[in-house]
Amino acid sequence: MDFERLRAEGEKAGFTNVALLDCSTMELKKEVRDMCASGQCKRYGTNWACPPACGTLEECEARIRKFKRGLLVQTVGELEDELDGEGMMEAQERHKENFVRFLTVLRKEFPELLALGAGTCTVCASCSYPDAPCRFPEKAFSSVESYGVLVMQLCKDNQMEYYYGKDHIAYTSCYLLE
């Protein structure tokens, strides 16, 4: 894997930061998955890419352990203040666009990659779960948290900042490549 070339391509796709990901640092925690079940984001049990449909922690871990290296990517947005919801949403939307754009690029070289985004899959305006199969399984993606991984710890373990101050927000995703 030519990390410097991939870093440049990630930055070209719009990410603020791109770091090499050591997949062995991805620790799956029941406590993180329990946050999904608590209903905070209101997607638990409503989306093919979210728990419980994305699989048990054991199934998620089996998928992750097929990989040794990948990329950790981040979009950092500036906020007017720490309560700037509009700025948060703009940064989140920019991150999702960057994520899908770079996923398209990476799939050409790494067709078996595992992509984990920030937040729930939004490929479809309305998910078909549980009434019908996923309409776009080749485009759908789970979040890092849905796999039970604490993003703050993942960033720390892979030399990427997580907190940029109260007037910034960071959205973090990863691509497991090889």
| CB neighbour class for 108 (10 Å; exposed up to 12, middle 13-18, buried from 19) | exposed
What is d(CA 29, CA 106) in angstroms, rounded to the nearest whole number?
28
Query: Taking 80 as the threshold, does the pLDDT of residue 11 lie above it?
Result: yes
Q: How sure is the predictor about 37, in pLDDT bands with cuts at 50, 70 and 90?
A: confident
Q: Report the alpha-carbon distance of residue 41 to residue 174 in Å, rounded.
A: 20
In this prediction, residues 124-144 reach a mean pLDDT of 94
pLDDT in tens, 65-82: 999 999 999 999 999 988
Query: Which of 81, 169, 111, 100 is CA-nearest to residue 141?
Result: 100
Residue that the structure tokens 């937040």 belong to: 119
**DSSP 8-state assignment for residue 124:** S
pLDDT at 39: 76
Question: 105 phi and psi, to 5 degrees?
Answer: -65, -50
pLDDT digits (tens, 9 = 90+) for 112-123: 999 999 988 988
With contact defined as beta carbons under 8 Å apart, do 160 and 80 qualify? no
Identify whether the C-beta of residue 43 lies closer than 8 Å to the C-beta of residue 51: no
